[in-house]
Amino acid sequence: MSNPFDLTNKVALVTGCDTGLGQGMALALAQAGCAISGVNVVEPADTVARMKAGGFRFLDIRANLATNEAIPDIIERTVAHYGRIDILVNNAGIIRRADALDFSERDWDDVLGVNLKTVFFLSQAVARQFLVQGGGGRIVNVASMLSFQGGIRVPSYTASKSGVAGLTRLMANEWAKHGITVNAVAPGYMATNNTAPLLADAERSKAILDRIPAGRWGTPEDVGGPVVFLCSPAATYVTGHILAVDGGWLTR
């Protein structure tokens, strides 16, 4: 029987993979057999080095996902280089923290732009490419605990990640008939740049840790396996699902 998690020769477009969870997911997909097209606003030097060390294929595309402008170029360059796209991981995301009473319009628009608007229009462009190719495809969005909970001091982030959960279900509904699955991983509290201010705050960091049944913060490696699963033949009949990768946070 063939390995149901094998992704040999699949092409995965991963946004925001210079560091953090995106890097963890890109490396896991590469280990499962994927060629990676990495879309980054900064030079992904560490990821390039790790891909090289593993003998993995990595196409380095630079683009700012704050707007939709770069989307046609991202698709064209990936298809020109690899011939096709099989998987999209919408990982790039930002967060702004301020009390809801003081929250600025700028912090609202910036976060919604990267975390929600670009996620939709890049998914739309990749889904159109899947239709041109035939044979379906996989989209994995990156949701959050704040797709389920309200959080504090991050109104635009909560709105964006709650939106990502809804959008995941909508795209799953519309595109299932084309053999496209659309799912999301919802990471819990993971130690990355995104959560550095929380980790640096001794009181908040302890309060968070005390509520994680697994007894530790998550790591970029923790999201690798779940993403490989959702992109693999093993998950062909899984769509519209938001998979919490949270050490038990939500069950508490």
Binding residues for ligand NAD, how many (CB under 6 A)?
27
Q: Out of 28, 114, 116, 180, which residue is the one contacting ligand NAD (CB under 6 A)?
A: 114
Catalytic residue at 189? no
For residues 164, 95, 220, 197, the Cα torsion angle rounded to the nearest 10 degrees is -150
Q: Out of 38, 93, 137, 226, which residue is the one contacting ligand NAD (CB under 6 A)?
A: 93
Cβ 211 to ligand NAD, closest distance in Å?
A: 14
Q: Which is nearer to ligand NAD, 11 or 165 (CB)?
A: 165
Q: Which residue among 82, 157, 189, 237 is the active-site one? A: 157
Cβ 37 to ligand NAD, closest distance in Å?
A: 13
CB-CB contact of 46 with 117 (8 Å): no
Give the side-chain half-sphere CA count within 13 A for 2.
8
Q: Show the site string, 178-197: x = touches ligand NAD by CB under 6 A, - = not.
A: ---------x-xx-xxxx--
Q: Which stretch binds ligand NAD (CB under 6 A): 11-19, 27-35, 123-131, 170-178?
A: 11-19
Cβ 39 to ligand NAD, closest distance in Å?
A: 7
What is the b/e burial string over 103-130, where b = at least 16 CB atoms within 10 angstroms of the residue's CB?
A: beeebbeebbbbbbbbbbebbebbbebb
Cβ 51 to ligand NAD, closest distance in Å?
A: 15
CB neighbour list of residue 187: distance below 8 Å, 6 or more residues apart: 21, 142, 144, 145, 218, 222, 223, 245, 246
Q: Which is nearer to ligand NAD, 94 or 171 (CB)?
A: 94
Tokens 């390039």 belong to residue: 48
What phi and psi, each to the nearest 5 degrees, are found at residue 32?
-80, -5
Residue from 183, 190, 168, 164 nearest 246 by CA: 190
Under rule CB under 6 A, residue 158 binds ligand NAD: no
Residue from 145, 141, 131 nearest 167 by CA: 141
Residues that bind ligand NAD (CB under 6 A): 15-16, 18-22, 40-42, 64-66, 91-94, 114, 142, 144, 187, 189-190, 192-195
